[in-house]
Structure 1
Amino acid sequence: MIRLLISRVLAAIPLMLMVATLVFFLAQLNPVDPAATIMGDDADLESLAEKRAELGIDRPLVVQYWDWLNSAVVGDLGTNWFNGEEITTELRDRIPVTLSMVFGSLIVALAIGSAFGVLAALKAGRWTDRTITVASSLGLAVPNFWIGLVLAYYVGVKLQWLPAIWPTTRPDSLARWVEALILPCVALGISASAAIARQARSSMIGVLQRDYVRTALAKGLPVRRVVSRHAIRNAAIPVVTLAGFQTSALIGGSIFVEFVFNVPGLGRFGVDAILRQNMPALLGFVLVTAAVVVIVNIILDLSYAWLNPKVRPE
């Protein structure tokens, strides 16, 4: 397991460098001039030239990239061109919000999807299985931001059970933090749970047809014991693999859900950086997002190796 962890971490380093390089040069294709955006439409050419020099975007692209990379290696991601704040400070305030929402929604997706997937497999061919299959198909078709709008209106506004939007001030307790995240996590997790339910059902049906499961049942062992001790662990391997892909999708989907619930997370920060061609903020956003995806996939690789010893390095 340690060798696997070291190999995955070493492989992540060039990946992060490649992502940063690609995003930096692709962002230059954006026709928006950040100096013109900052100075306004009435700025003259001389003022714009001075602003570009102040931002450092009048230099060759290779020089700009090299300077940024040298600073990023030591943890300095630069300054926000529009408000003067340190990018690391802004990201530090937003990362916990987005990570809480993504991992909360992943827990929701795994809990709901795995439970209904196993239930459908145990009731294969019956009305319970058909109902869960149809519900999973609907869950895959409905976008998460629409689910968020429905939850915000009925649960947050009509019933007032939970906050419809993020509090204007930072939650001062863990209870308020969790309360504010419940609806966004459910909105994100429902769509992901549909895919996990279908995968869990298919995997569990395959495992239940294995000889060792049939032998255990033939010996009179209770179905619950056979499923919990023998079937679930083997059936979980493809579900864990799918969870890695779903985590990346949840990070992308969180952008839309953050706008629905007014959550001050990374998604809104990244969209604003793209629209304004705010290069330091954009690169910081991409690096943090890529790092989260890499870390999650490393954790899932370790989980996969724990579940299936055959994939462990010799």
Structure 2
Amino acid sequence: MIRAALNRLIGMLTVMLLVVTIVFVIVRVTPGDPAAVMLGPEATAQDIEDLRARLGLDGSLIEQFGSYVAGIAQGDLGQSIFLGQSVGTALWQRAEPTFFLTVFSLLIAMVIALPVGIASAYWRGSLFDQTMTTLAMLAASVPSFWLGLLLIQSFAVSFGWFPASGYGGPGTTLLERLHHLVLPAVTLGVVSSALIMRFTRASMLDVLNDDYVRTARSKGMTEWRVVLKHALKNALIPILTVIGLTAALLISGAIVTETVFGLPGVGNLIVSAVLRRDYPVIQGALLIVAGLYVLVNFLIDMLYLLVDPRVRY
């Protein structure tokens, strides 16, 4: 198990090195002078030179890459041009809404998808199965921004049950802030539940007719124990995979949802940075999101070893 973990850790570090290289190249292949692009057409030659020096663009490519990697190794993601603070600080200050939004959305998606997927597989071909499959296809095809606007109109404007936007003021309690996240979390959770539900159904269908399931039934075990203990346990590998990928996708998918609901999270920060050509913030956000993708996949690989001991070999 330790050897498998080390192999996956080495692979994770290799992927992150490739990501760092790609992020470094993105700014350098920008048409024209990157500093001039960031500052806009009204910038003076002196302003451009000053910014080039701040960003380390006045050295050779090898020197720039070395300085960039060394800064990342020390936790320095650069300095935001417009915010007047480090990129790491800017991302950290906006991490809370994105973190809670991702966690709540994933919980909602799992609460919806896992029971429905298991039940659809158990009652395969029934009216329930056909209805849930149709709803899953519909949920997967609905744009998150449209569903968010629909929820705002219904539950915020018409009924007034939830805030339409924002995350509360500086003195707002955590409970009130979580209240602001209900509609965004439902928006992301419903859309994300479709993929998890379909994978759960497909995985359960693969194992429900296997020999060990029939053997468990022949021993007189209750049906719920056969389905949940024997069938579900052996179907968990692909389900864990899609849950991990969904968690990673929710982080990047929060960009649109945060913009619709006016949440001051990382997604909103990225949109603002793109509009203002604040490349250091864009680079830092890309690295963080890519790192989270890699970390989630690493954790899912480790869960494989716990769920199915055969993976160790």
Query: TM exceeds 0.5?
Result: yes
Whole-Å Cα distance in 2 between the matches of residues 294 and 39 of structure 1?
33
User: Residue 177 of structure 1 corresponds to which residue in structure 2?
Assistant: 177
Say if 2:23 is the partner of 1:20: no
Q: CA offsets per residue over residues 135-161 of structure 1, 9 Å max, x none?
A: 011011112222111112211222122
C-alpha displacement of 1:210: 1.2
Whole-Å Cα distance in 1 between the matches of residues 39 and 27 of structure 2?
20
Whole-Å Cα distance in 2 between the matches of residues 83 and 116 of structure 1?
46
Q: CA offsets per residue over residues 183-231 of structure 1, 9 Å max, x none?
A: 2121111122111111111211222111221222233322112112211
SS at match of 2:199: helix
Q: Map of 1:300-311 to 2, 5 A cutoff?
A: 300-311=300-311
Q: CA offsets per residue over residues 72-116 of structure 1, 9 Å max, x none?
A: 211122211222201121111122322222222122112211111
Against the structure 1 CA distance between its residues 167 and 95, is the aligned structure 2 distance closer, same or farther, given a 3 Å change threshold?
closer
User: Residue 165 of structure 1 corresponds to which residue in structure 2?
Assistant: 165
Say if 2:134 is the partner of 1:155: no
CA contact (8 A) 1:30 1:277 kept: no
Whole-Å Cα distance in 1 between the matches of residues 243 and 218 of structure 2?
33
C-alpha displacement of 1:18: 1.1
C-alpha displacement of 1:291: 1.6
Say if 2:98 is the partner of 1:98: yes
Letter in 1 for 2:292: V
Deviates more, 1:276-285 or 1:156-165: 276-285
Give me the CA root mean square deviation.
Answer: 2.2
User: Residue 205 of structure 2 corresponds to which residue in structure 1?
Assistant: 205
Whole-Å Cα distance in 1 between the matches of residues 3 and 179 of structure 2?
40
Against the structure 1 CA distance between its residues 173 and 34, is the aligned structure 2 distance closer, same or farther, given a 3 Å change threshold?
farther
Whole-Å Cα distance in 2 between the matches of residues 43 and 122 of structure 1?
65
User: Residue 5 of structure 2 corresponds to which residue in structure 1?
Assistant: 5
Letter in 1 for 2:71: S
- Number of aligned pairs? 313
Whole-Å Cα distance in 2 between the matches of residues 32 and 93 of structure 1?
32
Say if 2:257 is the partner of 1:257: yes
Q: Map of 1:112-191 to 2, 5 A cutoff?
A: 112-170=112-170, 172-191=172-191
Letter in 2 for 1:89: T
User: Residue 268 of structure 1 corresponds to which residue in structure 2?
Assistant: 268
Whole-Å Cα distance in 1 between the matches of residues 253 and 38 of structure 2?
29
Q: CA offsets per residue over residues 281-306 of structure 1, 9 Å max, x none?
A: 22211121112112211221122222
C-alpha displacement of 1:128: 0.5
Task: State the identity as a percent.
Answer: 37
User: Residue 229 of structure 2 corresponds to which residue in structure 1?
Assistant: 229
Q: Map of 1:10-49 to 2, 5 A cutoff?
A: 10-31=10-31, 35-36=35-36, 41-49=41-49
Q: Which runs of 5+ in 1 are unaligned?
A: none
C-alpha displacement of 1:59: 3.2
C-alpha displacement of 1:243: 1.6
Whole-Å Cα distance in 2 between the matches of residues 260 and 224 of structure 1?
42
Q: CA offsets per residue over residues 230-262 of structure 1, 9 Å max, x none?
A: 111112221111122222322221111110111
CA contact (8 A) 1:37 1:276 kept: no
Deviates more, 1:95-104 or 1:46-55: 46-55
User: Residue 110 of structure 1 corresponds to which residue in structure 2?
Assistant: 110
CA contact (8 A) 1:20 1:286 kept: no
Whole-Å Cα distance in 2 between the matches of residues 294 and 21 of structure 1?
15
Whole-Å Cα distance in 2 between the matches of residues 156 and 99 of structure 1?
23
Whole-Å Cα distance in 1 between the matches of residues 119 and 196 of structure 2?
13
Against the structure 1 CA distance between its residues 38 and 137, is the aligned structure 2 distance closer, same or farther, given a 3 Å change threshold?
closer
CA contact (8 A) 1:80 1:86 kept: yes
Whole-Å Cα distance in 1 between the matches of residues 43 and 297 of structure 2?
47
Whole-Å Cα distance in 2 between the matches of residues 71 and 77 of structure 1?
7
Deviates more, 1:40-49 or 1:193-202: 40-49
Whole-Å Cα distance in 2 between the matches of residues 247 and 159 of structure 1?
31
Deviates more, 1:48-57 or 1:289-298: 48-57
SS at match of 1:297: helix
C-alpha displacement of 1:29: 2.8
Against the structure 1 CA distance between its residues 126 and 38, is the aligned structure 2 distance closer, same or farther, given a 3 Å change threshold?
closer
